[in-house]
A and B are shown apart, each in its own frame.
Chain A
Amino acid sequence: MSDTHAQSVAFVRTKEIAAKAPPVTDSGAVKWVRDNLFSGPFNTIMTILGIIIVAYLLSGLIPWIVNGTWEGDNIQECRAILAGNGGGCFAVIADRWPQLLFGFQYPDYLRWRPTLAFLLLFLAVPPALFIMFLPRWTLIATVVYPFIAYYLIWGGTILSPLVAALALAGGYLVFHRVERRGFVQGLGAGVVAAILIVWIGGFIASAGSNVLALETVESRAMGGFMLNMILGVVCVSLSIPLGILLALGRQSSLPIVKGFCVVFIEFVRGVPLITLLFVANVVLAYFLPPNANFDLIIRVIIMITMFSSAYIAEVIRGGLAALPKGQYEAGDSLGLDYAQNMRLIILPQAMKISIPGIVNVAVGLFKDTTLVSVISMFDLVGMIRGPILSSTQWTGVYWELWAAACVLFFTVCYGISQYSQWLERQLRTDHR
Chain B
Amino acid sequence: MAMADTNTPPAQMQVSDEVAITIKGMNKWYGQFHVLRDIDLTVQRGERIVICGPSGSGKSTLIRCINALEEHQQGSITVDGTPLSSDLKNIDKIRSEVGMCFQHFNLFPHLTILENCTLAPIWVRKTPKKEAEETAMYFLEKVKIPDQANKYPGQLSGGQQQRVAIARSLCMKPRIMLFDEPTSALDPEMIKEVLDTMIQLAEEGMTMLCVTHEMGFARQVANRVIFMDAGQIVEQNEPESFFLNPQNERTKLFLSQILGH
Complex alpha-carbon distance, A344 and B99, angstroms: 19
Pick from B88, B98, B119, B154: contact of A431, CB below 8 A.
Answer: B154
Complex alpha-carbon distance, A349 and B119, angstroms: 15
Chain A residues within 8 Å of chain B by Cβ, number: 22
Given contacts A345-B108, A432-B154, contact A334 B172 (CB under 8 A): yes
The answer to whether A335 touches B154 (Cβ under 8 A) is no
Most buried by A among B88, B123, B152, B168: B123
Write the chain B residue with the least CB distance to A329: B69
Nearest Cβ in chain A — how far from B147, in angstroms? 16
Which interface class (under 10, 10 to 19, 20 to 34, 35 or more) fits B?
20 to 34
Is B104 in contact with chain A by the CB < 8 A criterion?
Answer: yes
Is B106 in contact with chain A by the CB < 8 A criterion?
Answer: yes
A95-143: which have CB < 8 Å to B?
Answer: none
Pick from A336, A340, A429: contact of B152, CB below 8 A.
Answer: A429
Write the chain A residue with the least CB distance to B96: A335
A-B contact count (CB 8 A): 68
The answer to whether B67 touches A324 (Cβ under 8 A) is no
The answer to whether A334 touches B155 (Cβ under 8 A) is no
The answer to whether A329 touches B106 (Cβ under 8 A) is yes
Chain B residues with Cβ below 8 Å from A335 are 92-93, 95-96, 120, 124, 172
Write the chain A residue with the least CB distance to B97: A335
Given contacts A336-B123, A344-B119, contact A429 B96 (CB under 8 A): no
Bitwise, B74-97 to A at CB < 8 A (1) or not (0) is 000000000000001000110110
Nearest Cβ in chain B — how far from A278, in angstroms? 43
Given contacts A349-B110, A429-B154, contact A333 B69 (CB under 8 A): yes
Is B243 in contact with chain A by the CB < 8 A criterion?
Answer: no
Complex alpha-carbon distance, A139 and B53, angstroms: 55
Chain B residues with Cβ below 8 Å from A431 are 154
The answer to whether B106 touches A429 (Cβ under 8 A) is no
The answer to whether A348 touches B110 (Cβ under 8 A) is yes
Bitwise, B102-114 to A at CB < 8 A (1) or not (0) is 1010111110000
B117-175: which have CB < 8 Å to A?
Answer: 119-120, 123-124, 152, 154-155, 168-169, 172
Complex alpha-carbon distance, A337 and B123, angstroms: 9
Pick from B96, B102, B124, B155: contact of A330, CB below 8 A.
Answer: B102
Bitwise, A325-339 to B at CB < 8 A (1) or not (0) is 011011011111100
Write the chain A residue with the least CB distance to B107: A330
B55-81: which have CB < 8 Å to A?
Answer: 67-69
Is B100 in contact with chain A by the CB < 8 A criterion?
Answer: yes
Complex alpha-carbon distance, A329 and B64, angstroms: 10
Chain A residues with Cβ below 8 Å from B92 are 335, 337
The answer to whether A429 touches B110 (Cβ under 8 A) is yes
Write the chain A residue with the least CB distance to B119: A344
The answer to whether B109 touches A432 (Cβ under 8 A) is no
Complex alpha-carbon distance, A430 and B92, angstroms: 30
Write the chain A residue with the least CB distance to B121: A334
Nearest Cβ in chain A — how far from B91, in angstroms? 9
Pick from B93, B124, B155: contact of A432, CB below 8 A.
Answer: B155
Complex A-B, nearest 4 residue pairs according to Cβ-Cβ distance, in ascending order: A335-B96, A330-B106, A326-B106, A334-B120
Besides A330-B106, A335-B120, A432-B154, 4 more A-B contacts (Cβ < 8 Å) are: A324-B106, A334-B95, A334-B169, A335-B92
A residues whose Cβ falls under 8 Å from a Cβ of B:
324, 326-327, 329-330, 332-337, 340, 344-345, 348-349, 352, 427, 429-432
> Could you name 5 residue pairs across A and B whose Cβ atoms are closer than 8 Å?
A332-B95, A334-B120, A334-B169, A349-B108, A432-B155
